[in-house]
Each structure stands twice: as structure tokens, then as C-alpha cells.
Amino acid sequence: MLVLPDGDFAGFIFDCDGTLADSMPLYHRAWLAALRDGGATFDFSWDIFTSRAGMTTALTVEALNRQFGTRLEAHRVEARQKAEYLSLIDEVKPIVEVVDVAMAHAGKLPMSVASGGTRPLVERTLELIGVKHLFGHVLVAADVERGKPEPDIFLLAAERMGVAPERCLVFEDGEMGILAAQRAGMQVVRVDFGSRS
């Protein structure tokens, strides 16, 4: 069961992957295939993968190149990763504990999704787990100049919902997303119900 903090919250903001959707193992598989095809020689472990959760694919590849001294081409890895994930996406399942919270508050206060993913994949994921209709706004990495861990996407979600940032409650699984929400002045519920790869 997900325990919500006390507070006078006027809006909820949910991350998608790893928060509403149990999609992280699928993304990890897609990343492994993309990195292998891109010529990576390092082990892209589950821990490395989750430490980058919430970042865009391009930023993740840049960070991996710095960390491992590689020269992976971000656009090539990104294209392969997206194609691989699309081939797996029908396997995605909801994270019931989080979806239950969203359903319980639907229509009672404004809610949005703020994801570091791409619009087609995020919207398809929300459709597959049956929750897209619950959210007035779905924001993705392309909607802001700076991605997580910067606060931009959460601040934009608050603005779109017409709710002050300090009255928003964010649901997040990734460290980058949690940091982004905190930088936005929002309280965060850490989600840790998803599967492991």
C-alpha cells in the first residue's frame, strides 16, 4: 500500500515508467540490446540503469560515455532503444498500488503525468495500462528545455494544472526525478513497487 504524506495537496503529478507502469525491466532489456548494437563493451547493470532513470536517452548516453570512456553515438543508440522497446511494449503492466491512488483521486483534483520519455511511448504506455483518461496533461521531455534532474517538467505540470508547486505531490521512482521534484519545491512519494530486471 502507498502511504501519502500529510499536506494540503491540490494537484498530483505522476512519473510514468517505473511509477504508473511496471516498464523498467522492459526498458532495461531495450537498453541492453541498443548498447550491444552500438558497440558498448561495459556491463550496463540494473544499478547503473536505475541510477539514470528519468534522464533522456541522449543525456544517458552522454553520461555513459563520460563514465566508461566510450564514444557511443547517442542518436544511433536512441533509435535502436526506442525500436526495441516498441517491440516489447505490449508486455507492460500497471503498478497497481500507484494506479489505485490515481483512480481514487481522478475527478477530485487535477492530475498530470511528467515523464522523461518520448510522447508516443509514454502515451501508448498509459493507454496499455488503462489510465490515460485520468490525466488532464501528459508532459514529456520534449516539452521542456532541461530534463530531470532539473525541475522544469514538474514546474510546467504545476503551471498547466493551475496549482502552486508547493501544493503539488509528485509520485516518482527514479533518483533524478525525485531530485527534480524536490528542486521544484514539491513533496515526493517514492515509488518502489516495480519489478527488477
Each residue's pLDDT tens digit, 68-119? 999 999 999 999 999 999 999 999 999 999 999 999 999 999 999 999 988 9
Longest dimension (CA), the chain: 50
Kindly give the interhelix angle for 119-128 and 74-88, rounded to the nearest 10 degrees: 20
Catalytic site residue from 8, 15, 37, 192: 15
C-alpha cell at position 145: 528545455
- What fold is seen in the domain 11-23+93-190? Rossmann fold (3.40.50)
Q: Active-site residue 90, yes or no?
A: no
Whether 168 shows a pLDDT value over 80: the answer reads yes
pTM of the predicted model, to two decimals?
0.91
Where are the domains positioned within the chain?
A: 11-23+93-190, 24-90
Q: Give the pLDDT confidence score for residue 56 in this predicted structure.
A: 83
Q: Strand pairing partners for 14?
A: 113, 171
Interval 150-154 mean pLDDT: 97
- What fold is seen in the domain 24-90? DNA polymerase; domain 1 (1.10.150)
Q: Give the pLDDT confidence score for residue 150 in this predicted structure.
A: 95
DSSP string over 82-93? HHHHHHHGGG--
Q: Give the pLDDT confidence score for residue 195 in this predicted structure.
A: 82
Whether 58 shows a pLDDT value over 90: the answer reads no
Tens of pLDDT, residues 112-147: 999 998 899 999 999 999 999 999 999 999 999 999
Q: Give the pLDDT confidence score for residue 186 in this predicted structure.
A: 98
Q: Give the pLDDT confidence score for residue 1 in this predicted structure.
A: 78
Distance (Å, whole) CA 188 – CA 197: 24
Q: Give the pLDDT confidence score for residue 60 in this predicted structure.
A: 92
Residues near 133 by beta carbon (within 8 Å), at least 6 away in sequence: none
Quote the percentage of the chain above a pLDDT of 70: 99
Tens of pLDDT, residues 36-57: 999 999 999 999 999 888 788 8
Q: Give the pLDDT confidence score for residue 197 in this predicted structure.
A: 62
124: left (phi over 0), alpha (psi -120 to 50) or beta: alpha
46-56 burial code (b ≥16 CB/10 A, e <16): eebbbebbbbb
